[in-house]
Each structure stands twice: as structure tokens, then as C-alpha cells.
A and B are shown apart, each in its own frame.
Chain A
């Protein structure tokens, strides 16, 4: 098992660029039960989850799992396929990936709750077509030592060996939230107190239909 990234390196402030090696994890419909099996949800902090990411798959593959391979230690980008992160809403899944060291995920599509959870942690999830994704995965698999750079503002990805670049997709909302550092939006929600009260006032059920 590998060590998690140091806590000081967790995402903070504007996320404009993610740079590092890329790890390929092939397959559709990889669910959050596989990313972090339920027994590891018995915790009151997220601290230890990095060690446990994909625990059962890794036991099954006895060291051959991408997250165990020596060349992938320290990788920062995760390359996946369709419907990644489906299933349970557990934020423990992106937390486990993040605490292992992943700082961005690129795939064909993501389950919505997983996508939102990642965004709230400052982990960009970008999408690419099936063909494009296969090409990116092939490049990363052929040269595990290659360095990749993801630019959030332009949703583009480049790689240094062999030199290549790809245009990805990232909707304007998340793009702006990440690049301005407003991905952790609790403060913004709380600040709208007046508008919150106005909305509450037009919902009859809040007063149990007292009339």
C-alpha cells in the first residue's frame, strides 16, 4: 500500500493548473463502492482514506492494480472511462482519491453526485469523447513517466513525451468556480441570508400551512 499525499498539498485557493503523471484506470461504471468499500466508511474523519482507495480491487490484483504499480506512485491525474463514480453518494470516494494524491480526473462521463463532490473538494473533473479518451489513455499507458499539464481555464491537456495536446470539456460554471477559488462555496450560500429568508417566506410548508 502506498502513502497518501501530505495534507498540506490538499487543494486550496484558485485551481488553475494540475501537473503531474497520469494514471489510467480503464472500465465503465466504476462505482463508489469499489473506489472505497463500505467498511471504510466507519470513520469520523476522512484522514486515513488515502490508503484504502480501491482496497478490494487492489487485494484481488495483488500488487498489479494501477494504484499499486510503482510507476504510478505520486500520479496526479486519473484517466477513466464512462459513468465513473456511480452509485452511493459517499464523499469518501473523492476524498480517498484526493488523499491518495489525485488532483484531477478526466473521463468520458461522471455520475452527478460524484462530480459535485469532486468540485466541492477542488478536484476538477473534465470530460472527453470516447475516441479522445482512448487516445489520451493510450498515450499515458505507453509512457507512464510522461508529465501531463491540465489547464483549467482552457480545459486543455498536454503531455511532454511524446509531445501532444488535447481539448477537453469543462462547463463554464465549474471552470469559473475552480479558477477563481470559489469551488468551496459555503460562504457564498450563507451570505445570501436575505434572499434565503425571502424564499422561505413563500413556502407554506415551513409554517405547516398555518395560513
Chain B
């Protein structure tokens, strides 16, 4: 059983009571809400005659359904408009801060909470969205919840939870040029599988992790859930503190010093005990791409679609389903595979450094004929920072569309979607069947720089070659 890890310490600090069911009532320090998973939760709250216990610990934004072309109200889609109005009314009724469109702070919930300094080390963070694991980058214990649980957190600022085991993912060495946190996490999931993390929290540690920026750590923790781990985290360190200092909701002055001391005390100690450990070497990781229909079906850019013989026996049925769905034969090299749509954005890779990496590839090049390529900044702040650097112009000149912030084609609840059998190069996090809005559409997950490389090449290409040109 784990002991002395950040997970154990944060768990103990937030423990409210042991429930008759055997689960633990855990206090939630930060509750993030958005338009899709909350209408029914507020309705349930009203049905039970309850109110919001800590509206000041609840923060809202709109991201999943917002259009990225025109965000003028009312939206063209009446259902999307109704969802937004419902959230606005609920926030007004209960005194919850809503970072809405045009506020300068709107964006994907997992992008704005960190950039506003809302997410801090040692917190428990919950949100009705599975990629809440993102916030673990700060040394928070952050996990996605369902709508009934959203109602529970609204009513009691707490949840009934079972304690997870802790697996340390130790990464030695350093990522090579052209290889990013996205490649690292796709490599981890490819190696361990999409189910390995069930029942675990993942602690990411080691020299390669220590060297990552906060934005890279967010990419990494964001996809812990794709490996089955409901939360993933990185111990807070100087990089974490430097990122937080001066942010709107971060402590300041004398409180800042006290905060840093408390945060440091929460990191896993040298004597921490883990339930399991797996080691990786960052130096050997290549740009990694998914070829199939689960995030675990990844390969290096210079590899070919694996044969059944190369696949673990229990993974073969889903591999066969993937060959059919993706229309890819085993042995097909992934480099050179033609794509139709290139999407840069999402809570995995829609931050400033992601756009910078993609722009570095796009600069001075042209999107290949017949390809639709677009960039969706993760938030209004990301958009403003990128525009201040002229990245929007770099993208436009290269033939990319520059859009308004939102989730967009990560899950295609807005008008951005694949059509028919189109195949996308996407910097998002899920390649499930139908995920990008067409029941037969196909998704290749990769880093934003690799998406840019695919856009200018017309097919999957090794970004390292373009960076060296």
C-alpha cells in the first residue's frame, strides 16, 4: 500500500468521514463546471431542495458546445444556445463566477483554471469531464466525475470516493528535439495499455519529467485517463511555483511564502512507498501517432501498423476492429498516410507552447492542396498571447484557419466535425470511433508539431525532418 506520496498526503488532508458504504467522503477544494455535464446536476439539486454549499469554490466556463467561427449570441444552434443559457441562469441563481465568452478568460475548462491560478498544488479538483486529470500537473489530485457526482459536489463540496493505488511512472533521460510531452504520454499508454491505470493514480517523476514545462506536464497528466488512470500528477517544484506566481487567483505577498512552504511539504518524500513502479527512457521515444481506435494503438512515426502476431493476444480483437474501421492493413508504414483534416487544439494541446511548436513548423510553408487545417486556441488568453506574438498571422499565411477558443473538433459537439470517412491528424486525446463527429470518421492522434507537419506535407510526416531543414 502506498505511503508518504503526494496522493496519500492530499487524500488524508481532505478526508471528511468514512461512509457506511466503506467509501471515504473527500472534500473537494475546487469544482470546475461547464455547460454539458451540469444542467441535470442543478436540476437534481433543486429536486432535493438543496443549495450550493461553496459557490466561491465553484468556477464555470463554456467550452464544449461553443462555435469557433462566430461566437455571436444567440448561437445558430438553438440547442447549444439553450445549454449556454441554462448555465448562465444556474450560475446567476447560485452566485457562481462564470468566465463567459468575451470575458477575456473564457476557454476550455482545463486550460483556464491553470492559467488563472485557480489550480494549485495540494488541492482536490473535480469536474464533470474526464480530462480533469490535467490539473494533476500542479501536484493536485484531480479527477473527472459524472453528473450525479457534480450534484453531490454542488450540494456538499465533497464526494464519496475509494482510495486509489499509486503507480510511479519514472522517466529517465531527456526528450529529443521534435519529441514532445504528447509523444511521451502516447508512448506510455502504448506500452502499458489503456486499462493498466484502472484503480491507480499515476505519479509522473524522474529527470525527464522534472525538465518539462508546466504546459507539457498538463499534456502528460491530461492523458493519464486515456491510460485508465483517473488521475495523474507531478510533484510541485520550482517550475510549478514560477508558473503560478502572479496569476490572478494565486496567493500573493506574505501568503505566497506560506503557500510555497505548504506546497513543498506535500511532495512525495524520498521514503515514499508506491504500489507499483514502471520505468521509461525518454531518450528512446520517437514522435508517436495512433493508427487505431484506442489511444493505446500508437506507434513511432517510422513504424508500421502492427500485425496480429505483434499484438498481445487479448488485444487482437480490437486490433482487427481497428484495421477494418481505419481501413489500414497490418504492415502499412504510418509515415506517408494521407490525411484530410488537420486540427490543432483541445485541452491536451491547445496552449501557447503547443501553438508555438506548430507555428515553428508551419512558418514559411503551405498547407498541402485539398487539406483543411485549423487552429483552435484553448482559451481567450491563449488566443490573445498567440496573436500578440503574431502566431495567428504565421498560421494564416501558411493556409491554416485561425478560430475562436473552445473544445471544437476534439469531440465535435459544435459545428466543427469530420465528414464521412475523412481522416484527421489531430492534437486532441481520443481516437474513438465517431469521436470527431462523423460515425465513420478516422482520427490519428499526435503532437501539434506533428499535426503541422502533416498539414504541410499532405500526409503523416516525421516532424524532426522538417525541423532540420
Chain A residues at the B interface, C-beta cutoff of 8 Å = 27-29, 31, 33-34, 37-39, 41-46, 56, 59-60, 82-83, 86-92, 94-95, 109, 111-113, 116-117, 120-121, 171-174, 176-177, 180, 182, 184-190, 192, 195-196, 198-200, 202-206, 208-211
Chain A residues within an 8 Å CB radius of B194? 29, 83, 86
**For the complex, what is the distance from the CA of A168 to the CA of B131, rounded to whole Å?**
31
C-alpha spacing A87/B432, complex, angstroms: 9
**Which residues on A sit within 8 Å (CB–CB) of B155?**
186, 189-190
Q: Which residues does chain B contribute within 8 Å of A88, judged by CB atoms?
A: 129-130, 411, 430
Judge if B371 is at the interface, Cβ distance under 8 Å. no
A126 to B240, CA, bound (A): 41
- The smallest beta-carbon distance between A140 and chain B, in angstroms, is 19
Contact, CB under 8 Å: B413 / A38: yes
Residue B419 lies at the interface, judged by CB distance under 8 Å to chain A: no
Residues from chain A with a CB closer than 8 A to the CB of B430 are 31, 33, 87-88
Chain B proximity of A80: nearest CB distance (Å): 13
Q: A203-B13, A205-B123, A209-B258 are in contact. Are A45 and B432 (CB under 8 A)?
A: no
A and B contact pairs by CB, cutoff 8 A, 9 listed: A33-B430, A89-B128, A90-B36, A173-B23, A185-B19, A190-B50, A195-B25, A199-B13, A211-B258
Separation of A27 and B158 alpha carbons in the complex (Å): 35
How far apart are the CA atoms of A171 and B432 in the complex, in Å?
30
| A56 neighbours in B (Cβ, 8 Å) | 433-434, 439
Interface centre among A28, A92, A192, A205 (most CB of B within 10 A): A205
Tell whether, in the assembled complex, residue A195 and residue B17 are in contact, meaning their CB atoms are under 8 Å apart. yes
Number of interface residues of B (CB under 8 A): 82
Interface positions of B from 145 to 200, Cβ below 8 Å from A: 145-149, 151-152, 155-160, 162, 194-195, 198-199
Are A199 and B145 within 8 A (Cβ)? no
Verify B255–A209 contact, CB threshold 8 A: yes
Q: Is the CB of A196 within 8 A of B158?
A: yes
Which chain B residue shows the least CB distance to A28?
B318
- B79 an interface residue at 8 Å Cβ cutoff? yes
CA–CA, A88 to B144, complex, Å? 9
Contact call A89/B29, Cβ cutoff below 8 A? no
A83 vs B258: C-alpha distance when bound (angstroms)? 43
The CA-CA distance from A182 to B13 in the complex, in Å, is 26
Given contacts A38-B411, A112-B230, A209-B262, contact A186 B146 (CB under 8 A): no
In the complex, whether B388 has a CB less than 8 A from a CB of chain A is no
Determine whether B442 belongs to the interface, using a CB cutoff of 8 Å to chain A. Answer: no
Output the least CB separation between A52 and chain B (Å): 13
**Is A27 in contact with B318, judged by CB distance below 8 angstroms?**
yes
Knowing A27-B317, A185-B152, the reply to whether A44 touches B83 (Cβ < 8 A) is yes
Chain B residue with the shortest CB-CB distance to A47? B40
CB proximity of B223 to chain A, nearest CB, Å: 12
Asked if A38 contacts B437 (CB within 8 A), the reply is yes
The CA of A187 and the CA of B152, in the complex, are separated in Å by: 9
A13 CB → nearest B CB, Å? 16
**List of A residues within 8 angstroms of B160 by Cβ:** 185, 188-189
Does B162 contact A120, Cβ atoms closer than 8 Å?
Answer: no
Of chain A, the residue at the smallest CB distance from B123 is A205
Query: Which of chain B's residues 1-32 have a Cβ closer than 8 Å to chain A?
Result: 13-17, 19-23, 25, 27, 29
Contacts A190-B50, A203-B13; A34 near B433 (Cβ below 8 A): yes
CB of A172, distance to nearest CB on chain B (Å): 6
Given A37-B434, A192-B25: A199 and B14 interface contact (C-beta under 8 Å): yes
Chain A residues within 8 Å of B128, by CB: 89, 91
Residues of A within 8 A of B23 (CB): 173
CB-CB under 8 A for A112 and B198, given A89-B37, A173-B21: yes
User: Given B132, B198, B411, B433, which contacts A111 in the complex, CB threshold below 8 Å?
Assistant: B198
Contact A199 B258 (CB under 8 A): no
Within the assembled complex, what's the spacing in Å between the Cα atoms of A208 and B258? Answer: 10
B273 within 8 A of A: no
Given known contacts A44-B86, A89-B129, A208-B255, A113 and B145 CB-to-CB distance under 8 angstroms: yes
In the bound complex, CA of A210 to CA of B159 (Å): 26
Contact present for A203 and B149 (CB under 8 Å): no
Once the chains are docked, how many angstroms separate the CA of A120 from the CA of B439? 30
Min CB gap B294→A, angstroms: 6
B433 and chain A: residue at smallest CB distance = A34
CA of A201 to CA of B395 in the docked complex: distance in angstroms? 49
Indicate with 1 or 0, residue by residue over B99-135, a CB within 8 angstroms of chain A CB atoms.
Answer: 0000000000000000000001011000011101000
Considering the chains assembled together, what is the distance between the CA atoms of A143 and B204 in angstroms? 49
Contacts of A34 in B (CB 8 A): 432-434
Inter-chain contact B43/A209, CB cutoff 8 Å: no
* Residue B251 is within 8 A (CB to CB) of chain A in the complex: yes
Q: Are A44 and B40 in contact (CB under 8 A)?
A: yes
Q: Whole-angstrom distance between the alpha carbons of A211 and B262 in the complex?
A: 11
Q: Which residue of A lies closest to B78 (CB)?
A: A42
- Minimum CB distance partner of A192 in chain B: B17
Please indicate which of the listed interface residues B251, B256, B432 has the most CB atoms of chain A within 10 Å of its own CB: B432
Please, which residue of chain B has its CB at the minimum distance from the CB of A121? B148
Interface residue from B13, B36, B50, B259 paired with A186 (Cβ < 8 Å): B50
Q: Which residues of A contact B57 (CB under 8 A)?
A: 206
Q: A91 to B40, alpha carbons, bound, how many Å?
A: 10
Are B439 and A60 in contact, with the CB atoms below 8 A?
yes
